[in-house]
Amino acid sequence: MAKRAHVYISGRVQGVCFRMATAEAARRLGLNGWVRNRRDGRVEAVFEGEPGAVDRMVEWCRQGPPHAHVETVLDVGGDETPEGLTGFQVRESV
């Protein structure tokens, strides 16, 4: 059964290649979903896939790429049902 995580990452997470690094890490774990910057300075991401891989990805977000400084990772997707997303996309900012 697939799991879904919907996270908001705060801190110094824009301008440090966070989206690209997130996409690479998610693809390596075989996850589907997307990542995007938000105008408020946070990064938002959705991960779908095998529960252990989703958990590892959320844990990865707590550190991020080398130049990031993550302050908080808020997972708002605890009750969200996986949509059956395919592939992993870097989306436009909102």
Q: Where are the domains of the chain?
A: 6-42+50-78
What is the H or E stretch that residue 5 is in?
strand 3-12
Catalytic residue among 4, 19, 32, 42: 19
Q: Clarify whether 42 is annotated catalytic.
A: no
- What is the mean predicted confidence (pLDDT) over 62-87? 93
User: Domain 6-42+50-78, CATH 3.30.830.10 — does that match?
Assistant: no
Alpha-carbon torsion angle 74, 48, 14, 38, nearest 10? -70
pLDDT value for 36: 98
User: For a pLDDT cut of 70, what percent of the chain falls above it?
Assistant: 100
Taking the whole predicted model, whether its pTM rises above 0.75 is answered as: yes
Q: Clarify whether 91 is annotated catalytic.
A: no
The CA-atom distances, in angstroms, between 49 and each of 24, 52, 65, 69, 71 are: 15, 8, 22, 26, 25
Catalytic residue among 4, 32, 37, 42: 37
pLDDT value for 70: 98
